[in-house]
Amino acid sequence: MAIHGLIRPKSGDARRTPKAAAPHLVSSFPNRTRMKDRFRIFIAALLAAAPLTAAPAPLVALVRTSAGSSQTLWITGNDEQNLTVKDQVEATETRRIPRAEIKSLHVFPTAAMAEAQALFANGNYTAARTKFSALREDFKGLAGIDGNPGTEAAFMELECLRKSGDLEALAKALETFDRNGLVRESQRRQLDLYATWDAVRRKDWPKVESAAREYLKDRQLPGGQRVQMAYCLGQALEAQSKPQEAIDSYQIALVADGSACVEIARDSLLHSLRLYRKDAAVLAAMKSQPPDGPGRQRLLEAAALADLWTTLPGSAGSLPADLAEFLKFRPENAPAPRHKP
């Protein structure tokens, strides 16, 4: 199409395009309305085909500054020197706070954090660890700030490994773990307790016994951590052929705070019953009709422990057959001993 056909001729211009030619020129262009409709359809198709991705929601946190002030802020970004924040969730303007001025932050749980914690609480440690690993990566830009969620997530990865019994992986993960950023005393103490768990991994039983006994002297040691040390001590004593002392330690692990460490509570009960099963005096009492002799009292203790099995959280199924035999000797089932005249 000649470019001059698009220019409107000036009035009186003898060279202007004849009117007869106008229909020919107009018919060479698509109808403008149809062009708009086709454009709208094209854009709609693009939008339908493209994945819908929302901008990440700001991270809500209570930020404490070195000057002593505290404020709930919405963190929208960060770099090596600053945090970018909003003062209100609906605010459009942001401001920067130098990292050097931030003493600590407490992040309000996100949906992803809540999901990871729920998996952990339900004993699904493999899935929980995967979630915590993703959170650690998501928040690695906040590393170095006390209370930052990335370090918290990394710590929970360690706990997943401990609770699942993977002490080899725990030892490897601890090699690169940076404890800077952990502010809770219980978490920092747990990092210290991992040294005893590592001695369990290496089967250094004298060291386990010494360390665990020292921790158990502390009356302020929280229940969940007392359970851990009593269980480690029980293993050390059992390995060193001190069965009755081991049973006593396992029973501490059972009663200190079994609800906080259900895996340890179950294992402690099973370890205790197996030790009773190896006790010659207990075996003799089981064969006596009615149960009698020096092993009778310990047999009744074993029966009471076996009766606890179904009360422990997560103890699905029955006891192994050889241990379930103790249930026959519960006080309500066992006949009274014969008294010699």
101 shares a domain with 222: no
Q: Among 63-77, 218-232, 252-266, name the one with the lowest average pLDDT.
A: 252-266
Q: Give 45-66 pLDDT, tens digit per residue.
A: 444 444 443 445 789 999 999 9
Q: Is there a domain that residue 275 lies in?
A: yes
Mean pLDDT of 15-43: 49
Local confidence band at 31 (pLDDT 50, 70, 90 cut-offs): low
Check the CA dihedral 234-237-240-245 and report its sign: negative
Q: Is residue 184 part of a domain?
A: no
CA distances from 295 to 116, 132, 192, 284, 292 (A): 48, 49, 40, 7, 7
pLDDT averaged over every residue in the chain: 84
The distance of Cα 29 from the centroid of its chain, to the nearest Å, equals 65
Residue 202, C-beta contacts closer than 8 angstroms, at least 6 positions apart:
none
pLDDT at 288: 83
Q: 200-209, pLDDT tens digit by residue? A: 999 999 999 9
**Counted domains in the chain:** 2
Q: List the beta bridge partners of residue 104.
A: 64, 146
For the stretch 122-168, pLDDT in tens is 999 999 999 999 999 999 999 889 999 999 999 999 999 999 999 99
- The residue among 234 and 49 whose pLDDT is bigger is 234
**For 231, how many CA atoms within 13 A lie in the half-sphere containing its CB?**
29
Confidence bin at 334 (pLDDT 50/70/90): low
- Residue 312's pLDDT is 85
Among residues 147, 120, 116, the alpha carbon closest in space to that of 134 is found at 116
Looking at the fold, whether 106 and 220 belong to one and the same domain comes out as no
- Classify residue 307: in a domain, yes or no: yes
Instruction: Work out the pLDDT band at 335, boundaries 50, 70, 90.
Output: low
Provide the 10 A C-beta neighbour count for residue 120.
19
Last residue of a domain, one of 111, 131, 148: 111
End-to-end Cα distance, the chain? 130
Residue 6 has pLDDT above 70, yes or no: no
**Same structural domain for residues 340 and 227?**
yes
pLDDT band at 44 (very low <50, low <70, confident <90, very high): very low
Residue 27 has pLDDT above 70, yes or no: no
Q: Which residues contact 171 (CB under 8 A, 6 or more apart)?
A: 198, 201
- 231 belongs to a structural domain: yes
Domain that holds residue 271: 216-341
CA dihedral (37, 38, 40, 45) positive or negative: positive
How far, in Å, CA of 321 to CA of 5, rounded? 100
Q: pLDDT digits over 236-290, tens only?
A: 999 999 999 999 999 999 988 766 788 999 999 999 999 999 999 999 999 887 7
Instruction: Name the percent of the chain lying above pLDDT 90.
Output: 67
7: which DSSP letter?
Answer: S
Report H helices in the chain.
Answer: 22-27, 32-49, 111-121, 125-138, 149-163, 167-174, 185-201, 205-216, 223-239, 243-257, 262-277, 280-287, 296-308, 321-324
Q: For residue 324, tell me if it sits in a domain.
A: yes
- 50 burial level (CB within 10 Å; 0-12, 13-18, 19+): exposed
**The last residue of a domain, from among 88, 111, 134:** 111
Q: What is the pTM of this model?
A: 0.78
Reading across the β-sheet that carries 70-78, which strands appear in turn?
95-98, 82-86, 70-78, 59-65, 102-107
Pairwise CA distance, residues 10 & 276, whole Å: 114
Helices 296-308/280-287 angle, 10° precision: 90
The reported pLDDT for the residue numbered 291 is: 77
Residue type, 25: L
pLDDT at 10 over 70: no
Q: In terms of C-beta density within 10 A (0-12 exposed, 13-18 middle, 19 or more buried), how is residue 264 classed?
A: buried
Query: Distance of CA 239 to CAs 74, 263, 289, Å?
Result: 53, 20, 33
Q: What does the pLDDT read at residue 338?
A: 53
Q: What mean pLDDT comes out for the span 202-228? A: 96
Q: Is residue 193 part of a domain?
A: no
Compute the distance between CA of residue 302 and CA of residue 318 in angstroms, rounded to an integer: 16
- Does residue 265 lie within any of the structural domains? yes
pLDDT at 40 exceeding the cut of 80: no
Report whether pLDDT(14) > 50. Answer: no
Q: What is the mean pLDDT of residues 185-189?
A: 95
111, 133, 152: which is the final residue of a domain? 111
Q: Is residue 306 part of a domain?
A: yes
Query: Are the C-beta atoms of 103 and 66 separated by less than 8 Å?
Result: yes
Residue 179 has pLDDT above 80, yes or no: yes
Is the pLDDT at 87 greater than 80? The verdict is yes
Residue-level pLDDT at 289: 78
Lowest mean pLDDT: which of 144-153, 216-225, 291-300?
291-300
